[in-house]
Chains A and B, each alone.
Chain A
């Protein structure tokens, strides 16, 4: 199974380690060639403005939209969720999302770093709680009908699924818990 981790910037190294623990050699995706070699993609946390610009300059932006339309499985965490969203508020006016998931996002909606937090989450389909680590996290303002909400904090979605895309506003790669990655790999192998 060839799983790519977008390595333009951010916490890609921790996703690679999580995949390694699950027996998968990840591809670090910095170029279109790396991307084309991947069957599935993880978009890590990081700075979404930086990643937006590097997605465009590397040419991955358009390819990613095409491959997603063909059903490529994608997991986006934090900045990854922002990039996958359909609308971004409180971002830069020129920041263009991939528009692959029907969620509207407010950047840094939970506040600045000083407000970053941990919280136990109850996730749909998981027996035990999952430690959610939220760092300058995006707030989901609204979701479309086609979006399944898998976890919430204070009545706001923090984990969503739409078709073959899973997005979280927290960082599963920072928790010492690979269940979300395992579930993503299961989705990849059945796709």
Chain B
């Protein structure tokens, strides 16, 4: 296309896609068949990866970017946006993902970090990035590096919502407190959060993050989706929770319905019936590797 004044990769264009994903469910898929099931169920986007977090946790070893061939297969199978994960700090993996036209790059703690001090400089990319965060300081540091979307990390691959709730409450609670703070207190907040002062001031003024906040890590049921939406998440990522359950298609559809109708318990009751067994969850005390502790 040869339009004269056509600007790509702008801040608005990159941040805009996250606005389009609000109120929806982004589902982890490992092949084209699962991607089609997810799209049939009403997923707003799919996250293409070789192993869902529950399997990464079980198998151990180094988890890396997925095979580009497999990501391309998934891109060709669906019309919704396709996301894929790069390791924290692994900008070369991110370059590969951008070059094959992935719609969103997740710089993810679910994969083994490649750099112990630096996240990717996401401003250098035309593709938008999503990053995880456990608290507001972490979220604002990721935004200062160019993230266009934040997801609370939760604890991926556990089917246990408790960590997602902790992280959401921490992020949104501090946003509430900062919006009540006076201008002098914001300097101290910036120091405590180890976040850039201008971003802290922006949060104080607007009462919200500069980019959307979604929830990930542990969602396994329609009621889980409603819980985190009511707490203030604007959309949900479901990883192992769908394809590690007994009957993925109806569960996926039920979670989509629940995310839209999160305020209506009667609809939640209707869609939660006869879904079969959810994924088997894991108690936090029994896990060795906390994925949420990766990244800083």
Q: Smallest distance from the beta carbon of B196 to chain A beta carbons, Å?
A: 23
A9 & B7 in contact (Cβ 8 Å cutoff)? no
> What 8 additional pairs, Cβ within 8 angstroms, besides A46-B24, A49-B39, A118-B7?
A9-B22, A9-B23, A30-B264, A47-B21, A113-B81, A113-B101, A118-B12, A175-B12
Interface of chain B residues 250 through 272 with chain A (CB within 8 A): 256-257, 259-261, 263-264
A83 to B104, CA, bound (A): 24
CB-CB contacts below 8 Å: B1-54 with A: 1-3, 5-10, 12-13, 16-17, 19-24, 39, 42-45
Q: Residue A126 at the B interface, CB < 8 A?
A: no
Would you call B103 an interface residue if the criterion is a C-beta within 8 Å of the partner chain's C-beta atoms?
Answer: yes
CB closest chain-A residue, reference B126: A114
| A185 at the B interface (CB under 8 A) | no
14 A-B pairs with CB atoms under 8 Å apart are: A9-B44, A13-B234, A14-B19, A30-B263, A46-B44, A47-B21, A50-B42, A50-B43, A112-B81, A113-B103, A114-B9, A119-B7, A135-B20, A136-B81
Q: Which residue of chain B is the closest to A171 with respect to CB atoms?
A: B16
Is the beta-carbon distance between B17 and A116 smaller than 8 angstroms?
Answer: yes
Most buried by B among A53, A114, A120: A114
Q: A45 — which chain B residues lie within 8 A by C-beta? A: 19-20
Knowing A57-B257, A117-B8, say if A135 contacts B16 (CB, 8 Å): yes
Q: Interface residues of A toward B: which range?
A: 35 or more
Residue tally, chain B, CB below 8 Å to A: 42
CB nearest neighbor in B for A11: B19
Decide yes or no whether A78 CB sits under 8 A from chain B: yes
Say yes or no: B17 contacts A136, CB within 8 Å. Answer: yes
B44 touches A47 (CB 8 A): yes
Contact B24 A10, beta carbon cutoff 8 Å = yes
- Give chain B residues whose Cβ lies under 8 Å from the Cβ of A53: 42, 256
Smallest beta-carbon distance B237→chain A, Å: 15
Contact indicator B13/A118 (Cβ below 8 Å):
yes
**Alpha-carbon distance between A114 and B125 when the two chains are bound, in angstroms:** 10
Contacts A9-B23, A47-B20, A136-B103 known; A119 to B6 CB distance under 8 Å?
A: yes
Does B183 have its Cβ within 8 Å of any Cβ on chain A? no
Question: What separation, in Å, do the CA atoms of A79 and B9 have in the docked complex?
Answer: 20
List the count of A-B residue pairs having beta carbons below 8 Å apart. 133
Chain A residues 73 to 125 lying within 8 A of chain B, measured CB to CB, are: 78-79, 90-92, 107-108, 110, 112-120
Is B80 among interface residues, defined by CB-CB distance under 8 A?
yes
Interfacial chain B residues near A50, Cβ < 8 Å:
24, 42-44, 80, 256
B-side binding surface: helix, strand, loop or mixed? Answer: loop
**Is A140 located at the chain interface by the 8 A CB criterion?**
no
**CB closest chain-B residue, reference A9:** B23
**Is B195 engaged at the interface, CB distance under 8 Å to the other chain?**
no
**Measured between alpha carbons, how far is A45 from B260 in the docked complex, in Å?**
15
Report chain A residues within 8 Å CB of B126.
Answer: 114
A78/B20 in contact, CB under 8 A: yes
User: Could you tell me the distance between the alpha carbons of A163 and B185 in the complex, rounded to whole angstroms?
Assistant: 54
Contact B6 A118 (CB under 8 A): yes
Chain A residues near B1 (CB-CB < 8 A): 110, 154
A115 touches B22 (CB 8 A): no
B-chain residues with CB within 8 Å of residue A90 when the two chains form the complex: 79
Looking at B12, B39, B45, B101, which has the most chain A CB atoms within 10 Å of its CB? B12
Which of B20, B22, B126: most chain A CB closer than 10 A?
A: B20
Contact status A174-B24, CB under 8 Å:
no
Q: What residues of chain B lie closer than 8 Å to A167, measured between beta carbons? A: none
Instruction: Identify which of residues 123-138 in chain B touch chain A, using a CB-to-CB cut-off of 8 Å.
Output: 126-128
Decide if B98 is an interface residue (CB 8 Å cutoff). yes
Check if A47 sits within 8 Å of B24, measured CB to CB: yes
State in angstroms the CA–CA spacing of A114 and B94 once bound together: 13
CB-defined contacts of A11 to chain B, threshold 8 Å: 16, 19-20, 22
The proximity string for B residues 63-102 relative to A, scoring 1 for CB distances below 8 Å and 0 otherwise, is 0000000000000000111000000000000000010010
Evaluate contact between B6 and A113: CB separation under 8 angstroms.
no
- B234: which A residues are within 8 A, CB to CB? 13
* Contact yes or no, B16 A108, CB < 8 A: no
Nearest-CB distance from A116 to chain B (Å)?
Answer: 5
Q: Are B42 and A49 in contact (CB under 8 A)?
A: yes
